[in-house]
């Protein structure tokens, strides 16, 4: 089988926000781009994990939904006609004698590029799952690690577990439509933007959000995949506490894996990617 080798000025690894904006910047320099991403869609984590999550740290946008940000970045890049190679990952990058690069992807796609931009973030991702018995039977039914449709939680009793920006931001968003939102965290302090934390604490004072901290999840109650309550212990006393819930949203971060990029000898520090 004869494989077609694409020729381009720049290959961009990663079709998330940084990769999409790189297409625009290269286009302004009249450089043609090809973009490779492991997902079957462009947009990276913003599109795959939390398209309806509001984002507050984008220049020029006091607040913007993740999906809207991706839409605008895609629209901004479109005039420069990038070629997207999705649902595949870059397996090998070889420097050629003429100073260009030969790239091969997991599907056998071959690309020759004058430059390579790595915009892969921290690579492929998946959720860190809490170690709860039989949690798998609830996943996708009443336990969710990512939110793609905010409206599915309309009128629900939602328990959000976590202390980072995702937990805080979704508590702020879902309290507008859920019957009730309870935010639990293993520690007394949150690891999120101070302004967002202040908003959650203000809503808790108004009775619009329940804050249960510090609190450690220990088990689940329900049947046929439908959650009825989460069980945990208040710390440090170890007192058992049951919280009624239709939905549990555990936001314990993501497990990241760079894949072949980590083996390219680039001396990448995960904290500086």
Which pair of tokens denotes residue 46? Answer: 């913003």
pLDDT single digits (tens) 169-214: 999 999 999 999 999 999 999 999 999 999 999 999 999 999 999 9
- Secondary structure (DSSP) of 99-162: S-EEEEETT--EEEEEEEEE--TT-EEEE-----TTGGGTBTTTB-SS-S-GGGGTT-EEEEE-
Q: What is the band of 272 on the pLDDT scale with cuts at 50, 70, 90?
A: very low
| pLDDT score for 120 | 85
| pLDDT score for 268 | 45
Do residues 179 and 155 touch, judged by C-beta distance below 8 A?
yes
Using the predicted structure, report yes or no on whether residue 8 has a pLDDT greater than 70. Answer: yes
Cα 38 from Cα 47, distance rounded (Å): 13
Using the predicted structure, report yes or no on whether residue 231 has a pLDDT greater than 70. Answer: yes
Do residues 109 and 84 touch, judged by C-beta distance below 8 A?
no
Q: What is the band of 264 on the pLDDT scale with cuts at 50, 70, 90?
A: low
What is the Cβ-side half-sphere exposure of residue 30, based on CA atoms within 13 angstroms? 0
Q: What does the pLDDT average to over 214-243?
A: 94
Question: 134 versus 255: which is more confidently predicted?
Answer: 134
Q: What does the pLDDT average to over 29-51?
A: 90
**What percentage of the chain exceeds 90 in pLDDT?**
72
pTM: 0.61
pLDDT single digits (tens) 105-121: 999 999 999 999 999 87
Tokens 């004058």, located at residue: 114
Question: 239 versus 259: which is more confidently predicted?
Answer: 239
**What percentage of the chain exceeds 70 in pLDDT?**
90
Using the predicted structure, report yes or no on whether residue 26 has a pLDDT greater than 60. Answer: yes
**Mean of pLDDT over the chain:** 90
Using the predicted structure, report yes or no on whether residue 215 has a pLDDT greater than 70. Answer: yes
Using the predicted structure, report yes or no on whether residue 146 has a pLDDT greater than 90. Answer: no
């Amino acid at each position: 089988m004869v494989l077609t080798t694409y020729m381009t000025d720049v290959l961009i690894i990663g079709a998330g926000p940084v990769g999409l904006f790189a297409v625009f910047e290269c286009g302004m320099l009249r450089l043609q781009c090809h973009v490779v991403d492991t997902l079957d869609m462009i947009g990276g984590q913003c599109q795959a994990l939390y398209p309806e999550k509001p984002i507050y740290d984008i220049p020029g946008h006091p607040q913007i939904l993740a999906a809207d940000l991706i839409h605008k970045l895609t629209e901004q890049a479109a005039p420069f006609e990038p070629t997207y190679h999705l649902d595949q990952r870059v397996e090998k990058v070889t420097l050629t004698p003429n100073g260009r690069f030969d790239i091969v992807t997991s599907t056998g796609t071959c690309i020759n590029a004058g430059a390579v931009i790595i915009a892969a973030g921290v690579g492929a991702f998946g959720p860190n799952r809490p170690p709860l018995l039989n949690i798998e039977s609830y996943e996708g039914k009443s336990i969710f690690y990512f939110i793609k449709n905010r409206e599915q939680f309309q009128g629900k009793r939602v328990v959000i577990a976590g202390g980072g920006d995702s937990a805080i931001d979704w508590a702020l968003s879902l309290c507008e439509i859920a019957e009730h939102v309870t935010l639990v965290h293993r520690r007394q302090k949150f690891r999120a933007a101070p302004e967002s934390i202040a908003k959650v604490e203000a809503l808790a004072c108004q009775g619009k959000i329940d804050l249960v901290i510090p609190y450690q999840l220990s088990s689940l109650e329900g049947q046929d995949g439908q959650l009825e309550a989460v069980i945990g212990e208040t710390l440090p006393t170890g007192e058992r506490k049951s919280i009624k819930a239709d939905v549990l949203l555990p936001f314990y971060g993501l497990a990241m894996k760079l894949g072949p990029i980590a083996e390219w000898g680039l001396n990448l520090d995960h904290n500086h990617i």
